[in-house]
Structure formats: C-alpha cells, structure tokens
Amino acid sequence: MLNHSDTSIVTIDRFIIEQEAKFPEATGELSGILYDLAVAAKMISSKVRRAGLIDILGAAGSENVQGENQQKLDIIANAIITKAMDHGGRLCAMASEEEEGIIPIPPQFKCGKYVLLFDPLDGSSNIDVNVPVGTIFSVLRRVTAGTGQGSKEDMLQPGLAQVAAGYVIYGSSTMMVYSAGHGAHGFTLDPSIGEFLLSHPNIRIPAVGKYLSVNDSYERDWSEPVKALMRRYRGLDGKRDPMNVRYVGSLVADFHRNLLGGGVFVYPANRKAPTGKLRLLYECNPLAFICEQAGGAAADGKRRLMDVAPTELHQRSPLYIGSRDDVETALRILEDDR
C-alpha cells in the first residue's frame, strides 16, 4: 500500500533515472520514450474517468483496420499517444492497432532510433459498462540504416527484439506496468499529485496459477486438444486442482489480475479464426515480454510466442500467457495440434 508519509516513495521519473544510471552507455532516449508514454497515460486516464460526463462514450460510427467498430475513446486515445510521441526526436515511426499503415514522424521533427507499436485502448467496448480498459505498448530499436523515417522492416521483428514494453490499466486506480528488460515494475497514479508512484517493484507471477481466463463461448469451435487442455485446467481429468474461471473480456484487465495473482489467459485458435484473434505486435508480444520478465511464459500454442517472426503489421495470433507451469502444460497437451 502507498503511504504518503513515507520518504522512500519513488516516482516513475526517479525510478527510470535510477535504472538508467546502472548503464553508463545509456543515452536517455529510451527513458524519454517511457516518460512521454506516462504523460500520455495520464491524459487518457483523465478522458476515461470523465467519459460519461463529456459525451465520449460509445461507438464513433467508423471501423478500424480490423473491421471492428471504433469507440470514440479509441480515436481520442490514439490521437493522444500519437501527439505525445511524434515530436521528441526519439522515434522514427509508430504503428497503432487502430491504423492500417505506419504512422510517420512529421517532417518538421527529428527521427530517432526507436519504433513504437501500441494498442491505444484495449477493451474499449467495455467502457460503457464500467469495465477496466488499458493501453499496451512495445518499443523496438530500428534495424534499417540511416536517420530518416522508419519502415515496416523496423517493426516486423520478433518479440524477443523488444527493448521495452508495458501496459496501463484504467480501473479503480490507474496503474502502469513496464519492463525495459530488467524485471517488471508497477506504478500507481496518485491523482492528488498527478504522479505515477512505484507500488509494485519486481513483480513475480506464481509458477502455478489459480485463475483461468477464457471465453467459453467458442468451445464448440475448438480442436479436441484445446478442449482437453480446458478439462485439465478445470481439474476434470483428475490431474490437478481446478482453476477458478475469471474472464472480464478486457485483455489488459484479465492479464493484470493473473500477473499479480497467478493464472493463465487463453485465447486459442478456433475453426472460425484459425490464426487466432489477438494482434501479435500490439497485444501479444508486449504482454509476453512483461510476463517473461516477471517469471511467467507466453506461447502461441506451438512455441514460445516471442520467437515468432511477424510478416504483417496486423498479424493475429493465438495466445496462452501467464504462470509458467500452466503455459508449459498447454504446450504439452497441444502437441497433437501442431
């Protein structure tokens, strides 16, 4: 719990600076990206909390590149992140789940050596019913030569190439969890001072989880190995204690609960979506990075998720993510699906 009389309180800015100081070769550019993302998160948090008061709830009447109805806050959050990140001279390009192609850096601004991939508002269709939503982000180092605009080649890298990733959850409190490759750390926004404060240092997910997050409505379209896996998680085959089923339908909310309490989030491929539904670059890879840094695991049902080499900006993937032993169980049982 946060204690405001405690002189050891650490803001996210201080934490990032202290982490950076451990690496003399650091230029501060990655730290600047994380600062800017924290500012964007504060702005989005304010919009989410006032959504019902300023007529920005509900659908916008348009579709994103996925063919999904865009919510008004999707568009607002996308614009906030883009404008917060496009002028700092640290990025050479961005890509969003909400936009079809690369988001270029405006010509009047300097290009940097990183690219940013993000889902501006995951689970936004749940806002109207007051369910937590979130922002997910991934940072990669450019691989193309030069100092100009970035390209798809810079973005189509496997998840193991990420240099930082994280998410922000807008719930009963606003919390930002990120990793730059040295553990996963959580910061809670104190609205009274407008600062993210370190609340969850060095998060570790239990090796065996107690929560199962899965949408059972797709069961009739699952393969037999996937059905067998669900029976195992529920303890119906007598080989483990049953897991408690908890499914919000907002990926960030389900993942966050499982990260802190132990569990596995499962979104298998199915007959209607044979390549999966979730986006590899904007959702799966960044959460996989966080999960592994916390001692967990993530797979696509066949292999370690972050080993997958992407070929498209909006590539979809199955997802099995959470407690290490539970993900390894999935890989063993799903071997017949490979």
- Mean pLDDT throughout 84-99? 97
Which tokens hold the place of 328?
A: 């390894």
In a domain, 69, yes or no: yes
Which tokens hold the place of 161?
A: 């190439």
Residues 233 and 115 in one domain: no
Residues 17 and 122 in one domain: yes
- Mean pLDDT throughout 291-297? 98
**Domain assignment of residue 158, given as a range:** 12-200
Tell me: pLDDT of 5 over 50. Answer: no
pLDDT at 61: 55
Residues 43 and 109 in one domain: yes
Rounded Cα gap, residues 279 and 277, in angstroms? 7
Number of Cβ within a 10 Å radius of residue 112: 22
Residues 261 and 305 in one domain: yes
Tell me: pLDDT of 324 over 70. Answer: yes
pLDDT at 97: 95
- Whole-angstrom CA distances from 190 to 12, 43, 99, 172, 196 are 11, 13, 32, 12, 6
Q: pLDDT tens across 137-176, in order?
A: 999 999 999 899 999 999 999 999 999 999 999 999 999 9
Residues 103 and 229 in one domain: no
The string of DSSP codes covering 191-253 is: TTTTEEEEEE-S----SS-SEEE--GGGGGGS-HHHHHHHHHHTTTTSSSPPPEE---S-HHH
pLDDT at 247: 95
Rounded Cα gap, residues 195 and 129, in angstroms? 27
Q: pLDDT tens across 24-55, in order?
A: 888 899 999 999 999 999 999 999 888 765 56
Q: pLDDT tens across 245-273, in order?
A: 999 999 999 999 999 999 999 999 999 99
Residues 236 and 320 in one domain: yes
Residues 163 and 228 in one domain: no
* Mean pLDDT score of the chain: 92
State the residue for tokens 């070769």.
25
Find out whether 202 and 183 touch, Cβ atoms under 8 Å: yes
pLDDT at 67: 56
CATH code for position 232: 3.40.190.80
Find out whether 179 and 296 touch, Cβ atoms under 8 Å: no
In a domain, 3, yes or no: no
